[in-house]
Each structure stands twice: as structure tokens, then as C-alpha cells.
Amino acid sequence: MNPDRYADRPAGDPPADRVEGLLRRAGDVSAGPPPGVWEAVRAELTEDEPAQGAVGTPRRDDLAGRRGADGGRRPARWPLLAAAAVGALVAWLGTQVLGAGPGASEVVVADGTLAELPDAGEPVEGTAQVVAVDGEQRLRVEVAELPDAGEGYLEVWLLRPDLSGMVTVGVISGTSAEFSLPAGVDLADYAVVDISREALDGDPAHGGQSVVRGELRDASAG
Amino acid sequence: MTGAGDDDDDIATAWVRGERDALERAYRRWSGLVHGLARRAVGADGADDVTQVVFVSAWRGRDTYDPSAGPLGAWLVGITRRRIVDELRSRQRQVPVADAAPEVSDAQAWTAADSTDLLTIYEELERIGDPQRRIILLAYVEDLTQREIAERLDLPLGTVKTHTNRTLARLRTLLGGAR
């Protein structure tokens, strides 16, 4: 046992080396919590986000993690969407790197057009663009008209083309929005931009009501 | 020179703007400190809970962070202090008084006074920032000599000595004044 040599120190001025002593005794305090703590933080904030509707709360879900692990808990209610239908609906745009970006350091890494899905109710057109700014990827979404969110809100997702996985990106509440993408998201894998109508029911899973969708294409390949 | 890879001020700016990655960046930068301080105060098991609550409540209350009042790291340590107090209070309610002698899992038991002062020290170090923060940690956590610190940080030896003395004096005053 290592006796606590400060436990019964006299009141009044601290000994001259109390600061040093505490620092030495504590040692390296930066080891960090186990990984599960971050998962818990993320899960807790994801759960309360729909109620807050706050843009900016991290909603990222790397599917290998949380949603992949408990994917069976919230059955996804997907609209019927054959791959052929997606192909027919989405008009591809092999846009070259646009000169319109506000920042000189930005590089457009992918872009595509968005189109309404059948039964979505209203014609919606828009564009999606991924730019690399200062080492991070940002997704810019613009729609000509904001789809009707009904009683809920509209959420932007990145999907695998075969719908085998999805990453939540954020809430869109205007005709243009910009989102920071989670580091490590492979746009070649999660290539489909999807806007869904979500109910304020606290369920963080995709509500199954996609209203707008489009696929990103590698801008350098266009 | 920070060696942290992510600039504290940049993280704070992202935090204030509510950018989606700000929480993760802040977590990467400060979760070690938050957890490390909590572990001294409430033990390893409680530290996980405290860390989770600190970052969840910090993000939910991010509008209350005022950059002009101090750096984000110091603000987070302040929240850590309050969550530790909450944790200790809830334990007091749960543990019968007769059995109040805590079963501390850490090798050394930290008294409340010690862990409180440790929090004060680290909160102030976050407030002061680098290079003073690093100088103090290299001296008293990694046990480097002043000369080694000067070489490591590429600073004049005199600067290292001055920073060490002034920062120590400031920290001692804080601890003395806290009572």
C-alpha cells in the first residue's frame, strides 16, 4: 500500500510541492476511456435528436457499429425500390469539377443529381455534391423545392446502392444544406444520397419514406 | 508543436458552430483527460459513466459554452468536476453510512480534496494552454529535466524555467485560494 502522504495535511497554505506531488501521483491521465464509451455517447445523443430536431448533432452511424450490431431491433421499412427504378429515376450528371465553389481550397470529389421517387407526391429536383475542404468531406445538398415533411422532418442519408447499409447525415430544413461527412465513409460504397421523411417518433432508423434520391459519381471520372 | 494533431481553437470554433464533427473532435482531444481525472476521483468503473455523461451533457448544453470565458478544454474539465460531484453524491445515497468506507479499485485511494485539487490543476492548465501546459506535464508527469523539455519543445532553457516557475506559482495560488 502506498500511503496517501497528503491525506492529513494541515489546513492553510498548501505545501510548496502539492501541485507537483499531485501531478506526479496522478501520472498520465490521458490514457482514454474504452471505446464503448464513445459508442454510448453517440447512441444517447442519436436517440434524443429527433425530438430536438437539432442540426449539428452527430448522427453518424457507421453501420459496422451500432446499427449493424442491433440492426434487427429496428426493422427498416423500405419502399419498394428496384434497382432498375433507381436507374430510371436518377439522371446522371457527369459534371466536371465546378468552378463555382466559394473556397479555392475545395475540391469536388463527387456529385450527382437528385430526383423525386414515385408516390413522393411532388416533383423535386436537386443536386448533391461532395467537396473536400481542409481534409474533410462535406456533402452539399440543394433542392429546387423542399419536399413536404408532413408531420415530421426530412433527413439526409447516404445509402449503399443495394440498400444493404445506410449512414445518417443530418436533418435538412431548407432548400440547401451542407453536412460534414463522417471520416472514412467510402463514397464509392455509400454512393446514394437519399432524403427521407421521418416522423418525430424518436426512432433513429430510416423511416422508409424516401422522397428524393440520387447517386453520387466520382467527379474525376466524369 | 501541439502534437495533438487537431488544434484546440479549431475544435472550439467547430463546437460553437455546432458542426457535426465537433463532438467527435472534442472527444478525441479531451476524453482521455476527462476519463483520467474521473478515474482518480471515482475509480475506473465510475469514470466510464462520468465520461459519457460529461460529453452528452456538454453537447446538449453546447449553447452555454462561451468562448470568451475560456478554452473549451477548461469548460469540459469544469463539467467533469460537476459530474464527479454528482457521481459521489449518488454513491453516498446508495451506500449505507456504516459501510461508507469505499472499496476503491485503484491502487491508491484519492481523497476528495486531492482529486478536487487535481481537477483544479488540469482545468487551469487547459486554460493557460501550450506551451506552459506541456512544459508542466513533461516536467511532473513524464519527469523530464528542464533541459530535456527545452530540447523537446525547441524552446530556450530560460523560457522553460520562467514558464515552469510562473505556472507553478499560479497553480499553487489557485489551490491555496480554493480553501
The SS3 of residue A13 is coil
Q: Are strands A166-172 and A217-218 parallel, antiparallel or unpaired?
A: unpaired
Q: How far apart are CA A39 and CA A52, in angstroms?
A: 20
CA of B69 to nearest chain A CA: how many angstroms apart? 23
**CA neighbor of B112 nearest in space, from A16, A6, A20:** A6
User: How confident is the model over A188-216, as a mean pLDDT?
Assistant: 80
| B104 contact A CB<8A | no
Among A44-48, A159-163, A164-168, B136-140, which range has the highest average pLDDT? Answer: B136-140
Under a CB-based contact definition with an 8 Å cutoff, are residues B84 and B115 in contact?
Answer: yes
Q: List CB contacts (< 8 A) between A38 and chain B.
A: 24, 27, 31
What are the cell numbers at B86? 454528482
Cell 445518417, residue located: A168
Best mutation target among B52, B119, B163, B168 (most A Cβ atoms within 10 Å) is: B52
Instruction: Tell me the CA distances in angstroms from B123 to A18, B69, B174, one per residue in order.
Output: 16, 13, 11
pLDDT-derived band at B2 (thresholds 50, 70, 90) equals very low
Helix, strand, coil % over all residues of chain A, rounded to 5? 20, 30, 50
For residue B138, the model assigns a pLDDT of: 96
* pLDDT of B94: 66
B168 interfacial to chain A (CB closer than 8 Å): yes
Q: What is the pLDDT of residue A66?
A: 35
How far apart are the C-alpha atoms of B37 and A32, rounded to whole Å?
10
pLDDT tens string A102-143:
444 667 777 777 776 655 555 567 888 888 877 778 888 888
E strand map for A67-216: 107-116, 125-133, 136-143, 153-159, 166-172, 176-180, 192-198, 209-215
Mutate to test the interface with B, among A25, A41, A133 (most CBs of B within 10 A): A41
What is the C-alpha radius of gyration for chain A, rounded to an integer number of angstroms?
A: 23
Q: Please count the other Cβ atoms lying within 10 Å of the Cβ belonging to residue A104.
A: 5
Residue type, B155: L
pLDDT in tens, A68-104: 333 333 333 333 333 333 433 332 322 223 333 344 4
pLDDT of residue A198: 82
Note whether A41 contacts B56, CB cutoff 8 Å: yes
Q: Does A180 reach chain B within 8 Å, measured CB to CB?
A: yes
Among all chains, which residue has been given the C-alpha cell 442491433?
A70
Check whether the bond before B131 is cis (ω within 30° of 0): yes
pTM of the predicted protein model: 0.52
> What's the pLDDT tens digit per position in A149-196?
777 888 888 888 777 778 888 888 888 888 888 877 888 888 888 888
HSE value, Cβ hemisphere, 13 Å, CA-based, for B74: 18
Dihedral (CA of A204, A209, A212, A214) sign: positive
Contact A58, A45 (CB under 8 A): yes
Tell me what the pLDDT averaged over chain B comes to.
86
Tell me what ipTM this predicted complex has: 0.86
Q: Helix count (H) and strand count (E) of chain A?
A: 4, 9
List pLDDT tens digits, range B47-59. Answer: 999 999 999 999 9
Q: What nine digits make up the cell of B41? A: 476521483
Who wins on pLDDT, A2 or B109? B109
Distance of alpha carbon B123 from alpha carbon B76, whole angstroms: 8
pLDDT of the residue at B101: 47
Alpha-carbon distance A12 to A149, whole Å?
A: 64
Which letter, b or e, does each residue of A179-202 get, where b requires 16 or more Cβ atoms within 10 Å of its Cβ? bbbbeebebeebbbbbbbbbeeee
